[in-house]
């Protein structure tokens, strides 16, 4: 007896990512899998009499996006506490958001702006000053993380953290001081981000109930942007199993709206070998299900091999004991048949790591273990070939979109043209996947990555790569869909819209393949489907979107600002304040004499930066 679909999507422009059937108009779903793909007429033949039929109304449908490197578990625990500047294109608006949030945040909580932005995205092309932060929030502690190079703290946060004239610089970090030796509020990462992590960890945490709610809202935010699956790369201060309790509970309760494959990230310098010996004995690779499963080790394998990518600082040299530390861990992983990933920014680190991998492989063949480097911004063609010879892969992230200007300033435009050398990786036949490395060093918005891959531009507008070194849109989308399944050891199970694969796909707000290149960064989902279930809907599909509890606590920035800020959001915030100013009788002269401008957004931003009603 032929199976009949219970859910059918018709009248779309479907990019299947299937070379033998690249385009279609309809897809039928049975359970959590795709039953058939093709024309409306052919697919409707497979529909049950009572099947639910969704009219895509000509929307572009693509496979669900998969982020091969994101810190979603850690990010979910904190999302509801964070004021996101991702996407904000005016520092004046960012400071306005900060001021508003400080006024509603109760003691002893902090206002946290924890990454996802760069100074170059602002029209002002600078970070806020400590004075501006203090004026925006004189009493509520503020912690602002900029990439992995520095944190900005207001006076209240300096006091809460206990930084004084007598505080010594911690290992791997610098407390910037004024002429009298007092902390200014700026913390510098030298040569790694430990001072940033450890300071942020001093802030209050949400209770477990709120952390579950926060994780649900972060998943919804990623669904809104078209993400249906992720590989969690672990992270500092993300201890296993303690910090996995919330995601474990949500998985058991069948409340995950993302598929999550997680890697275990060692937390203890000089204790890495003990961690991995313990984990490989207690955690079985691949344990879990299609929504939540273990994916191996990394991205931190040993701390002596961690070359943090702060391009404001010179490249760090790894210590002499790197090879010895790394070899001991890799031997355990290969023996226990655990896949692994390794953070490596610079070719010099990659060179030394490959020496270790090749040595271990001679004694204990990898034999199909999926292992890969993360980042690899400056990897050489020779070392790409060595990765290929060991059947490894490379996961690239759009970190250069957020700090390309720093790289160019230090190493020059010519060196920047191949950071990372994606074309050479693909030409060599190395598995390549794409991701974000969010939520701190870059934004979680996948469309910023796709914009960077296809245009070669940073979020600040710097053209880093010539057109011939950019990917076409189909090739870039492949890195965000079917290519990423290699990195989660799920080849052929998802990443395409083909019969038999998991029913994960996304209807877009505009057609990715035809919108002007600058509009790629504004794309988002109007409907996101995971396992045959609609997990997010907007516009004509809003009625299909499941409800989600309000963000907790009630002062959460998510309630007011949401997450990633659309380009139009800046003008909305500015116009709201202009409206208030008019209602209070302010700015009359300004309003009467202001010249008509070509863009309402330009007027709003001019007011936000120049009108006295915006004084902090």
In the chain, the percentage of residues whose pLDDT exceeds 70 is 92
Q: Where are the alpha helices (DSSP H) in 155-271?
A: 155-161, 194-200, 208-224, 245-252
Within 430-476, strands assigned E span: 432-435
- pLDDT of 575 higher than 60: no
Encode pLDDT of 107-138 as tens digits. Answer: 999 999 999 999 999 999 999 999 999 999 99
| C-alpha span between 154 and 140 (Å, rounded) | 8
Which pLDDT does position 191 carry in this prediction? Answer: 77
- Residue whose C-alpha is closest to residue 102's, from 156, 157, 139, 145: 139
Which pLDDT does position 585 carry in this prediction? Answer: 44
Which pLDDT does position 598 carry in this prediction? Answer: 38
Which pLDDT does position 2 carry in this prediction? Answer: 79
- pLDDT of 587 higher than 60: no
**Burial status of residue 289 (CB atoms within 10 A of its CB: 0-12, 13-18, 19 or more):** exposed
Which pLDDT does position 568 carry in this prediction? Answer: 54
Q: Please state, rounded to an integer, the average pLDDT across all residues of the chain.
A: 92
DSSP 86-116: TT---HHHHHHHHHHHHHHPPTT--EEEESS
pTM, rounded to two decimals:
0.92
189 close to 308: Cβ distance less than 8 angstroms: yes
- Residue whose C-alpha is closest to residue 145's, from 121, 103, 116: 116
Which pLDDT does position 611 carry in this prediction? Answer: 41
Assigned token pair, 222: 């990623």
Lowest mean pLDDT among 17-21, 112-116, 210-214: 17-21
Which pLDDT does position 614 carry in this prediction? Answer: 33
Segment 546-569 shows an average pLDDT of: 92
Encode pLDDT of 501-521 as tens digits. Answer: 999 999 999 999 999 999 999
Q: What is the dihedral of CA 14, 15, 18, 21, to 10 degrees?
A: 50
Q: Which residues contact 520 (CB under 8 A, 6 or more apart)?
A: 447, 450, 451, 454, 455, 512
| C-alpha span between 576 and 571 (Å, rounded) | 8
The neighbour count for residue 563, using CB atoms within 10 Å, is: 23
pLDDT-based confidence at 593, cuts 50/70/90?
very low
DSSP-derived secondary structure letter, 595? P
Domain boundaries, the chain: 570-616
Encode pLDDT of 352-403 as tens digits. Answer: 999 999 999 999 999 999 999 999 999 999 999 999 999 999 999 999 999 9
DSSP 269-323: TT-HHHHHHHHHHHS-TT-B-SSEEEEEE-S-S-GGG-----TTSPPPPPPTTHH
Lowest mean pLDDT among 191-205, 334-348, 538-552: 191-205
Which pLDDT does position 194 carry in this prediction? Answer: 87
DSSP SS3 for 520:
helix
**Burial status of residue 502 (CB atoms within 10 A of its CB: 0-12, 13-18, 19 or more):** buried
| C-alpha span between 578 and 611 (Å, rounded) | 9
| C-alpha span between 204 and 391 (Å, rounded) | 44
pLDDT-based confidence at 413, cuts 50/70/90?
very high
| C-alpha span between 558 and 564 (Å, rounded) | 10
Encode pLDDT of 333-358 as tens digits. Answer: 999 999 999 999 999 999 999 999 99
Q: What is the largest CA-CA distance in the chain?
A: 84
| C-alpha span between 550 and 447 (Å, rounded) | 26
Assigned token pair, 317: 């040299």
């Amino acid at each position: 007896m032929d199976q009949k679909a219970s859910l059918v999507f018709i009248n779309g422009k479907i990019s299947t990512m299937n070379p033998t059937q690249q385009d279609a108009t309809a897809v039928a779903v049975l359970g959590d899998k795709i039953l058939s793909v093709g024309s409306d007429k052919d697919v409707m033949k497979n529909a049950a009499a009572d099947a639910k039929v969704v009219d895509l109304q000509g929307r572009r449908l693509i496979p669900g996006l998969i982020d091969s490197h994101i810190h979603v578990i850690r990010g979910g625990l904190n999302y509801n506490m964070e004021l996101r500047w991702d996407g904000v294109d005016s520092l004046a608006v960012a400071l306005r958001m900060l001021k508003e949030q400080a006024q509603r945040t109760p003691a002893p909580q902090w206002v946290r702006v924890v990454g996802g932005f760069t100074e170059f995205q602002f029209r002002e092309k600078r970070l806020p000053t400590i004075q501006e932060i203090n004026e925006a929030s004189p009493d509520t502690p503020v912690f602002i993380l900029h990439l992995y190079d520095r944190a900005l703290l207001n006076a209240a946060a300096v006091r809460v953290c206990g930084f004084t004239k007598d505080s010594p610089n911690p290992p791997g970090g610098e407390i910037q001081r004024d002429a009298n030796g007092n902390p200014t509020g700026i913390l510098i990462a030298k040569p790694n981000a430990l001072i940033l992590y450890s300071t942020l960890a001093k802030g209050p945490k949400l209770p477990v109930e709120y952390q579950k709610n926060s994780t649900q809202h972060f998943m919804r935010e990623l669904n809104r942007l078209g993400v249906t699956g992720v590989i969690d790369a672990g992270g500092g201060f993300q201890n296993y199993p303690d910090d996995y309790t919330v995601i474990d509970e949500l998985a058991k309760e069948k409340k995950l709206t993302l598929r999550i494959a997680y890697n275990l990230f060692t937390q203890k310098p000089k204790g890495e070998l003990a961690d991995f010996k313990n984990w490989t004995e207690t955690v079985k690779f691949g344990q879990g299900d299609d929504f939540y499963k273990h994916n191996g080790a990394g991205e931190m394998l040993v701390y002596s091999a961690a070359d943090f990518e702060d391009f404001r600082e010179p490249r760090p040299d790894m210590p002499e004991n790197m090879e010895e530390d790394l070899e001991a861990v890799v031997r355990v992983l290969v023996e226990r048949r655990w896949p692994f990933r390794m953070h490596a920014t610079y070719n010099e680190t990659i060179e030394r790591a490959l020496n270790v991998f090749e040595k271990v492989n001679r004694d204990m063949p990898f034999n199909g273990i999926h292992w890969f480097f993360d980042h690899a911004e400056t990897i050489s063609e020779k070392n790409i070939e060595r990765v290929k010879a060991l059947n490894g892969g490379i996961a690239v992230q759009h970190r250069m979109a957020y700090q390309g200007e720093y790289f160019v300033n230090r190493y020059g435009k010519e060196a920047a043209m191949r950071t990372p050398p994606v074309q050479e990786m693909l030409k060599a036949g190395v598995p390549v996947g794409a991701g974000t490395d969010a939520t701190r060093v870059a934004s979680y918005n996948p469309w910023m990555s796709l914009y960077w891959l296809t245009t070669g531009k940073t979020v600040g507008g710097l053209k880093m790569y010539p057109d011939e070194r950019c990917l076409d849109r189909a090739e870039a989308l492949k890195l965000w869909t079917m290519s990423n399944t290699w990195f989660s050891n799920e080849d052929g199970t998802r990443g395409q819209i083909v019969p038999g694969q998991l029913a994960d796909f996304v209807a877009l707000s505009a057609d990715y393949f035809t919108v002007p290149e600058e509009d790629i960064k504004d794309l988002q989902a109007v409907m996101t489907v995971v396992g045959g279930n609609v997990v997010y809907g907007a516009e004509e599909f809003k009625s299909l979107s499941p409800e989600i509890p309000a963000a907790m606590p009630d002062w959460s920035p998510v309630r007011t600002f949401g997450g990633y800020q659309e380009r139009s959001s800046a003008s909305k915030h500015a116009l709201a304040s202009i409206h208030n100013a008019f209602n209070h009788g302010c700015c009359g002269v300004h309003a009467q004499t202001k010249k008509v401008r070509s863009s309402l957004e330009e007027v709003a931003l001019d007011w936000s930066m120049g009108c006295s009603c915006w004084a902090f």
